[in-house]
Amino acid sequence: VKHWTDRLFSFRVTRPASLRFRSGEFVMIGLMGDPHPETGKQKPLLRAYSIASPAWDDELEFYSIKVQDGPLTSKLQHIEPGDEIILRPKPVGTLVHDALLPGKRLWLFATGTGFAPFASLLREPETYEKFDEIVVTHTCRDVAELEYGRQLIEELKADEMMQELIGAEHLAKIRYYPTTTREKSPKMGRITTLLQDGTVFKDLDIDGIHVGTDRAMVCGSLDFNKDILAILEGFGLEEGANSDPKHFVIEKAFVG
Ligand code: A2P
C-alpha cells in the first residue's frame, strides 16, 4: 500500500490465476460492510475500479481516492499487507485498444484518479505497437496529486525490464503533459481550457487534433468527460465502443 497524499493511495494485490483482462479494463472490488445492527449479517461493498497494472503483470494494482465518509474508501484506505479484498472477476470497459480505429497519435486525457487505466495501458506493449506518439495529459488540483503518474512514467522509461519488454525507442514515444489547477506549477489550467485556447498544441508542437491521425482515451469526472467529449467532437472525432471502434473512448473515473 502506498499513500500519495491525504486524498490518494495505491495498492497491489495478488492476482487470481484465472483472472484474464485487457489493459485498461475495470473490475468490481471491495470489502465486507459492517455487520447489520440487528441481524449481524454483512454485505459486500463493491465499486468499479480500473486495474492500473497491465494485463501481463502477476499482481493487480489499483489507484484510489480516499473519501472520509465514502462507504468503501473510508475503510479501504486502511488496508495493510496481508489483508484480503473482495474481487469480482468480470473485467469490462471501453478504454481498450479494441475500441479504437488505428491511428498515429494516441491522447490519454485524465483528471485525478482517472490516470489509473492509463497506468495500465502505458505498461502495455500494444500501446506502442499501435501508435507513433502517446500524449499523456493529467490534470490535478495540486502538484502532489500528479506524483503517482509522474513517477510511473519516469520509472517506466528508466526500468531495464520495461525497456526490454516494450523497447526504449517505443518508450520515447510518451509525451507527458501534467497540469495543475489550484497550486502553482510549470503548467497551470484545466486541460480543457488549454486545448480550447491552443496552448497544448503550441507547447507540444502539434498542429491540432485530426480524424485521420488522432485517437483519444478519456478518464475523469463526469463533468470533465462531458467537456472533453464536446471538444473532441468539435475536432470531428466520434466516440467508439468495443463493438464499434471509432476515434475516442470515454470512461468515468471512480469517485467515492
Ligand atoms: P478544478 O480545480 O478547476 O476543479 P478533482 O480532484 O475534483 O477530482 O479534480 C481533478 C482535476 O480535474 C482538478 O484539477 C479539476 O480542476 C479538474 N476538473 C474538474 N472538472 C473539470 C472539467 N469539467 N474540465 C476540466 N477539468 C476539470
Place of cell 486502511: 78
Q: Is 109 in the pocket of ligand 1 (CB under 6 A)?
A: no
Smallest CA-to-CA distance from 29 within 82, 89, 77 is with 89
Q: Report residue 119: phi and psi, to 5°.
A: -60, -35
pLDDT tens digits, one per residue of 1-33: 999 999 999 999 999 989 999 999 999 999 999
pLDDT tens digits, one per residue of 193-231: 999 999 999 999 999 999 999 999 999 999 999 999 999
Q: Is 187 in the pocket of ligand 1 (CB under 6 A)?
A: no
Number of the ligand 1 atom closest to the C-alpha atom of 182: 2
Would the pLDDT of 256 be above 60? no
pLDDT for residue 78: 97
Closest C-alpha residue for ligand 1 atom 27: 224
pLDDT for residue 253: 84
Q: CA 202 to CA 183: how far, in whole Å?
A: 22
b/e burial code for range 223-253 (CB count within 10 A of at least 16 → b): ebbebbbebbeeeebebbeeeebebbbbbeb
Q: How much distance in Å is there from the Cα of 111 to the middle of ligand 1?
A: 6
- Report which DSSP code applies to 24: T
Place of cell 472490488: 29
pLDDT tens digits, one per residue of 25-61: 999 999 999 899 999 999 999 999 999 999 999 999 9
Smallest CA-to-CA distance from 159 within 168, 150, 169 is with 168
pTM recorded for the entire structure:
0.97
Q: Is 246 in the pocket of ligand 1 (CB under 6 A)?
A: no
